[in-house]
A and B are shown apart, each in its own frame.
Chain A
Amino acid sequence: MKKQFSEIIQYKGLLRNLVANELKLRYRNSVLGFLWTILNPLFFLLILALVFSQIMKFQIENYHIFILSGLTAWLMIQQTVVVATASIVNNQDLIKKVYIPKILFPLSSVLARYVDHLILTGVLIGFMIAFHVPLTWNLLFLPVVIFFHFLFSLGFSLIAAVFYIKVRDVQHIIAIIFQAFFYLTPIIYTVNIFPQQYQKFFLLNPFYYFIHSFRFPVYYAQFPPWWILLRVLVITVFTLGAGMFIFFKNEKYFVFHLS
């Protein structure tokens, strides 16, 4: 493990270039360019807000901030994992021809996504100001929460990337899992809409804690409850640890699975 960490330091110049290139190339031939980073989730937000507040008649105060905070936290995990899972396979030409520490590909992919997520978080705070949602000191805890989202999605991506190299069906399976969990996680609704005896089932959902830890300082203007933060910490440590273990154990053999 020590070797892998010192290699990341040695290759920090490459890491920076990979992140910069990914951001640069994504919008090189588009007119609106980087604006799409924000426009895409905002249109999604608009649709969700219309459907659930007007048609489904959800009664949640400041519903757009409620959704946007949940959606931002959700995208930090979902969008990142979906993209980073394919990062090794997408760079197979390079991996087959030169030696590069393999971790750089998922790592740069995750980092590039977090540039987007930070921008979206900025937009969220802009919305809060525009709609007079109180800004409290609790917001200062948000970077810590985002950092845990980052570590968790990195760990998740490492595991998914290893399986994706061996079996390409994994990407479809992950897409389906995320689609299901988007509705199983209280992102667009609160758990209160369910009868008391069913609410405890949400506690089995690991994403629940991440969404909640993000939503507390933003929407509820409160410091996240300790029991939630503790579970975020445990899930993150476990996922990242497992991810690094599986990834570093298999990285030597990746080249044999690439075509």
Chain B
Amino acid sequence: MANSKYSIKVDEVGVKFFLSRQEKKKKKEFWALKDVSFAAKHGEIFGVIGGNGAGKSTLLKIIAGIFPVSQGNVYVKGNIAPLIELGAAINPELTGAENIFLTGSIYKVPRSEIMEKFENIIEFSELRKFINVPVKNYSSGMFIRLAFSSIIFFKPDIILIDEVFAVGDEVFQKKSFEKILSFQREGATILLVTHDAALINRICDRVLVLNRGKEVYLGEAEEAVDFYHKMIKSGEEML
């Protein structure tokens, strides 16, 4: 992987879950992903599309290191900002300011750098008046703004985005989307997982189509979306 042009490389990966509590019983196993391979280049916006239960979120979680793979390999180069479930790192008992430091340290950002970016984060989140209030007293919109702002400012190399990108109101959503794209222009890789074909078509370079845990198409965005639509129409995608 050294000196490679790829920042994410997924190699024949499989993820197995056990549906029963007894792990040893073989028949109850379920493959959430099987034989999935792809690689995303530096600065690429790579899309993953598929219906419910296609394995999209599982794929993100193995790249983020939350789930172990049952077979195959995952290589990741650089810092990851997982916008998988925003606010995962937030402790509601702590204040906004304390949470910015906590979130930063979860992503291995040195304290000095957090202090440096602190003003920018407060500015971007529009929470200056409430920054010393415990987060449990925030509205859901304020919570999301804090969560997003405290992750995005620490120069991620890879940004993982799950599902419909809903961050607060429309204005803030637009602003955060632009922020993400600005990192991409600086060389960050973006992995976007969604079932929104229009969004994929608009911003992604290449797209992987998943169906029930299997890789069914990998190619240019337009063709992949066409394939996905045909697949839905022909009823290939069943649950």
In contact, B68 and A252 (Cβ under 8 angstroms): yes
B88, A97: Cβ atoms closer than 8 Å = yes
Q: Are B91 and A98 in contact (CB under 8 A)?
A: no
* Candidates A11, A21, A28, A97; contact of B102 at CB < 8 Å: A21
Q: How many angstroms between the C-alpha atoms of A50 and B82 in the bound complex?
A: 57
Q: Does B17 contact A (CB under 8 A)?
A: yes
- Chain A 230-259 interface residues, beta-carbon cutoff 8 Å to B: 252-253, 255-256
**Central interface residue in A17, A95, A255, by most chain B CB within 10 Å:** A17
Closest to B104 in A: A13
The CA of A11 and the CA of B75, in the complex, are separated in Å by 20
Residues from chain B with a CB closer than 8 A to the CB of A253 are 68
Cβ–Cβ < 8 Å partners of A16 in chain B? 105
Q: Which of B42-50, B59-67, B220-228 contacts A (4 or more CB under 8 A)?
A: B59-67
Cα distance A21–B82 in the bound complex, in angstroms = 23
Q: Interface 1/0s, chain A 1-37, versus B by CB < 8 A?
A: 0000000001101101100010011001000000000
Which residue on B lies nearest to A91, using beta carbons? B91
Contact call B85/A25, Cβ cutoff below 8 A: no
CA distance A25 to B134 in the complex (A): 11
Closest residue of B by beta carbon distance from A11: B108
Is B93 in contact with A97, judged by CB distance below 8 angstroms?
Answer: no
Q: Hey, what's the 0/1 contact readout for B85-121 against A, CB within 8 Å counting as 1?
A: 1001101011000100110111011110000000000
B161 to A: closest C-beta gap in Å: 14
Which of B64, B68, B94 contacts A98, CB < 8 Å?
B64
Q: Quick one: which of A172-211 are within 8 Å of B by CB?
A: none
A94 sits at the interface (CB 8 A): yes
Give every chain A residue within 8 A of B109 (Cβ-Cβ).
13
Look across to chain B and name the residue whose beta carbon is closest to the beta carbon of A28. B93
A227: interface (CB < 8 Å): no
Residues of A within 8 A of B68 (CB): 252-253, 255
| Residues in B whose Cβ lies below 8 Å from that of A100 | 106
B84 x A97 contact (CB < 8 A): yes
Chain B min CB distance to A225 (Å)? 44
Which B residue's beta carbon lies closest to that of A252?
Answer: B68
A99 within 8 A of partner (CB): yes
How far apart are the CA atoms of A240 and B168 in the complex, in Å? 47
Chain B CB within 10 Å, residue with most, of A13, A21, A94: A13
B105: A residues at CB distance < 8 A:
11, 13-14, 16-17
Expressed in whole angstroms, the minimum distance between the Cβ of A44 and any Cβ of chain B is 28
Decide: A21 near B98, CB < 8 A? Known: A13-B111, A98-B89: yes
The reply to whether A99 and B94 contact each other, CB–CB distance below 8 Å, is: no
In contact, B17 and A256 (Cβ under 8 angstroms) = yes
The CA-CA distance from A98 to B98 in the complex, in Å, is 18
Interfacial chain B residues near A11, Cβ < 8 Å: 105, 108
Q: Are B66 and A13 in contact (CB under 8 A)?
A: no
Distance (whole angstroms) from the CB of B23 to the closest CB of chain A: 9
Q: Are A13 and B108 in contact, with the CB atoms below 8 A? A: yes
- In this assembly, does A168 line the interface, its C-beta being within 8 Å of a C-beta of chain B? no
Residues of chain B having any CB pair with chain A under 8 Å: 17-18, 64-68, 80, 82, 84-85, 88-89, 91, 93-94, 98, 101-102, 104-106, 108-111
Between A and B, 27 residue pairs with Cβ closer than 8 Å are A11-B108, A13-B105, A13-B109, A13-B111, A14-B105, A14-B106, A14-B108, A16-B105, A17-B101, A17-B102, A21-B102, A24-B94, A25-B93, A94-B89, A94-B106, A96-B88, A97-B88, A97-B89, A98-B66, A98-B82, A98-B106, A99-B64, A100-B106, A252-B68, A253-B68, A255-B66, A255-B68
